[in-house]
Amino acid sequence: MYRYDEFDHAFVRDRVAQFRDQVARRLSGELTEEQFKPLRLMNGVYLQLHAYMLRIAIPYGTLSGRQMRKLAYIARTYDKGYGHFTTRQNLQFNWPRLEDLPDILAELAEVEMHAIQTSGNCIRNVTTDHFAGAAADEVDDPRPWAEIIRQWSSLHPEFSFLPRKFKVAVTGAARDRAAIRVHDIGLELRRGPGGGLGFRVFVGGGQGRTPMLAKEIRDFVPEQELLAYLEAIMRVYNRYGRRDNKYKARVKILVHERGLEEIREQVEAEFAELRGGALDVPVEAREAISAYFAPPSFEDLPRTSRILEEARLRDRDLALWVARNSHPHKQPGYVSVTISLKPIGGVPGDATADQMDKVAELAERFSFDEIRVSHEQNLILPHVRKDDLPALHAELKAVGLATPNAGFITDIIACPGLDYCALANARSIPVAQRLSERFADTRRQSEIGDLAIKISGCINACGHHHVGHIGILGVDRKGEEFYQITLGGAPGGENGGEDAAIGEIVGKGFSTDEVVDAVETIVDTYLKLRETPQESFLAAYRRLGKKPFQEALYGR
């Protein structure tokens, strides 16, 4: 993984010192909350319903054991003993005291972490496939490019005050696991006609109150010209993006209102001016960054592990966990492991300090000291020997981290909702917990198969409800919480995200008491109407449409 150089260390230390002075001035009353707001946002500090919230950047979701231990220490020392992993592969602490925040940022700087650009109208944390560098179907590792984009976009003087926040995702495989079609810019690393690496570029995607899928603006940009092309897009957005209405300020609205062809023409004109200049990424620079992401020293192992196969026969829990929570690895004898942060009845994305410490220890013992955070609010150990899976499973089980539900109906994404968030209209977490308990039986989950429920507590869609197979949006109706259900959404999938879809509203909303029963009705309808046990919920919905589900829910 990338390591700070002297400039990075000095820069982050200086930012901590600046913020310490700003906090002192706020505490003394020299700064009002209104004056302090833009300063704290530049350092990832929000003011939520009950307390300040600190959002910590985890670039492309990659952590070391040392960094995870520091997060555990901060959770235990400065917060309430846990942290919340988010859909942007970041981590949030919901209860820090304002006077402690400079010390927390200083602690983070010790392990090469910070909270810069996790808020504000700038380019946010660049996200990528949580199996990057390990996935068997990968064209190439996208993390070096995520790091190059991070360095280019950090404190970019031209793009620090954009019309609105801006999000970039990169995938290195044709199967999109980074949800690139619902980002402002989505990048698919691929090989061009001559065999060279480059990027298929999408622009204008996003969720929120106006969900849209990004459109392909260029089918191939050579890798050395990527930054020039991104800069061209950003210049067009910065020039024409609306600043008079924050609800119409995202690049998706610009693409929609002006049309893709006009935006493409403008971008190409800028690109013609920029390409071949200072933004070209030389081979030496690409190789230097890629060296930070070199594969670990894998052993030569057979594809099949006798140790694992014998253990699976003896232990049904292990067998189910391996079937659901392991992912094919490019290196024979290894897999990537999903550590579910969705225990039955638990809060999606939360991990206690003790659990974080344990994950750090297990990463060091079993996964070359690498941890990933997924946009699905789980943790990943990317490089685990198949021989080690029985031992790893036993260790995870002992700390409540071996729930075998990756991709199942209880693997729910949920935002903090009205329990924490100042923008929310309704609670997300209790709905997720009740759904998890309703579908707790693993045999029933296995019968249902792959099914993604995503819950947002407001139209800002931090819970990605628009791309849930079943999406749930909390709304306020005359002071009462109601939940609108959408069906058929998908964040990505095969062919560079071409399976991505925005869910359709199924009908009128449901009260807090009704929503879990409504979801169960939808699931039962799917089980009744699917053609075979292998037909997924999403495939069945695309074949049937929403009518049978409406009839089951509303009797019409």
pLDDT for residue 385 is more than 90: yes
Task: Report the C-alpha gap between 431 and 452 in whole angstroms.
Answer: 14
Can you give the CATH number for the domain in which 352 is found?
A: 3.90.480.20
Residue 99 placed within a domain: yes
Q: Over the range 159-172, which residues count as b (16 or more CB within 10 Å of their CB) and which as e?
A: beebbbbbbbbbbb
Residue 126 placed within a domain: no
Task: Report the C-alpha gap between 42 and 537 in whole angstroms.
Answer: 42
- 8 Å CB contact between 403 and 344: yes
Residue 451 placed within a domain: yes
Can you give the CATH number for the domain in which 452 is found?
A: 3.30.413.10
What does the pLDDT look like over 449-469, one tens digit per residue? Answer: 999 999 999 999 999 999 999
- 8 Å CB contact between 199 and 223: yes
- 8 Å CB contact between 334 and 386: yes
Which of residues 351, 366, 399 is at a domain's end?
399
Task: Report the C-alpha gap between 337 and 401 in whole angstroms.
Answer: 12
The pLDDT of residue 498: 73
Residue 125 placed within a domain: no
Residue ranges of alpha helices (H) inside 181-305 are: 226-240, 251-258, 260-274, 283-291
What does the pLDDT look like over 201-216, one tens digit per residue? Answer: 999 999 999 999 999 9
* pLDDT tier for residue 5 given thresholds of 50, 70 and 90: confident
Domain count, the chain: 4
Q: Which of 377, 292, 293, 392 is nearest to 343 (CA)?
A: 377
Please tell me the least confidently modeled range out of 2-6, 16-20, 197-201, 441-445: 2-6
Residues 329 and 384 occupy one common structural domain: yes
pLDDT for residue 237 is more than 80: yes
Q: Give the pairing type, strands 127-128 and 453-456.
A: unpaired
Could you identify the residue written with the tokens 């505490």?
27
Please tell me the least confidently modeled range out of 97-106, 187-196, 497-506: 497-506
What does the pLDDT look like over 251-276, one tens digit per residue? Answer: 999 999 999 999 999 999 999 999 99
Residues 179 and 81 occupy one common structural domain: no
The pLDDT of residue 235: 98
Residues 520 and 548 occupy one common structural domain: yes
Pull the structure tokens for residue 505. 């509203």
What does the pLDDT look like over 388-412, one tens digit per residue? Answer: 999 999 999 999 999 999 999 999 9
Task: Report the C-alpha gap between 379 and 539 in whole angstroms.
Answer: 27
DSSP category for residue 161 = S
Which of residues 223, 252, 287 is at a domain's end?
287
Residues 541 and 500 occupy one common structural domain: yes
Residue 300 placed within a domain: no
- For the question of whether the overall pTM of this predicted structure is more than 0.85, the answer is yes
Residues 98 and 233 occupy one common structural domain: no
Residue 405 placed within a domain: no
Residues 140 and 277 occupy one common structural domain: yes
Residues 142 and 283 occupy one common structural domain: yes
pLDDT for residue 35 is more than 90: yes
Rg (CA), the chain: 23
Task: Report the C-alpha gap between 96 and 410 in whole angstroms.
Answer: 30
Q: Give the pairing type, strands 91-93 and 82-85.
A: antiparallel
Task: Report the C-alpha gap between 189 and 173 in whole angstroms.
Answer: 7
Task: Count other C-beta atoms under 10 Å from residue 34's C-beta.
Answer: 7
Q: Which of 379, 420, 415, 342 is nearest to 96 (CA)?
A: 420
* One-letter-per-residue 3-state SS of 344-402: CCCCCCEEEHHHHHHHHHHHHHHCCCCEEECCCCCEEEEEEEHHHHHHHHHHHHHCCCC
The pLDDT of residue 285: 93
* pLDDT tier for residue 495 given thresholds of 50, 70 and 90: low
* pLDDT tier for residue 1 given thresholds of 50, 70 and 90: confident
Helical (H) or strand (E) element with 128:
strand 127-128
CA angle 223, 228, 232 (to 5 degrees): 130
The pLDDT of residue 138: 95
The pLDDT of residue 464: 96
Task: Report the C-alpha gap between 471 and 489 in whole angstroms.
Answer: 7
Give residues with Cβ within 8 angstroms of 258, minimum separation 6.
Answer: 240
* One-letter-per-residue 3-state SS of 453-487: EEEECCCCCCCCHHHCCEEEEEEEECCEEEEEEEE
The pLDDT of residue 335: 98
- 8 Å CB contact between 204 and 251: yes
Task: Report the C-alpha gap between 405 and 407 in whole angstroms.
Answer: 6
pLDDT for residue 347 is more than 80: yes
Residues 215 and 316 occupy one common structural domain: no
Residue 295 placed within a domain: no
- 8 Å CB contact between 25 and 31: yes
pLDDT for residue 494 is more than 70: no
Helical (H) or strand (E) element with 339:
strand 334-339
**Is the C-alpha dihedral spanning 138, 144, 150, 156 positive or negative?**
negative
Residues 312 and 351 occupy one common structural domain: yes
Domain containing residue 103: 6-110
The pLDDT of residue 499: 87
Residues 54 and 77 occupy one common structural domain: yes
Task: Report the C-alpha gap between 234 and 270 in whole angstroms.
Answer: 10
Which of residues 255, 287, 319 is at a domain's end?
287
Pull the structure tokens for residue 118. 């996790």
Residues 186 and 223 occupy one common structural domain: yes
HSE-up (13 A, CA, CB side) for residue 442 = 14
Residue 505 placed within a domain: yes
Residues 89 and 167 occupy one common structural domain: no
What's the mean pLDDT in 119-126?
Answer: 93
* pLDDT tier for residue 328 given thresholds of 50, 70 and 90: very high
The pLDDT of residue 496: 60
Length of the chain equals 556
Calculate the CA dihedral of residues 268, 273, 275, 276 and round it to 10 degrees. 160
Q: Which of 119, 113, 149 is nearest to 462 (CA)?
A: 119
Mean pLDDT for all residues in the chain:
96
Task: Count other C-beta atoms under 10 Å from residue 48's C-beta.
Answer: 17
Task: Report the C-alpha gap between 432 and 179 in whole angstroms.
Answer: 22
Give 220: exposed, middle or buried? Use CB within 10 Å, 0-12, 13-18, 19+.
middle
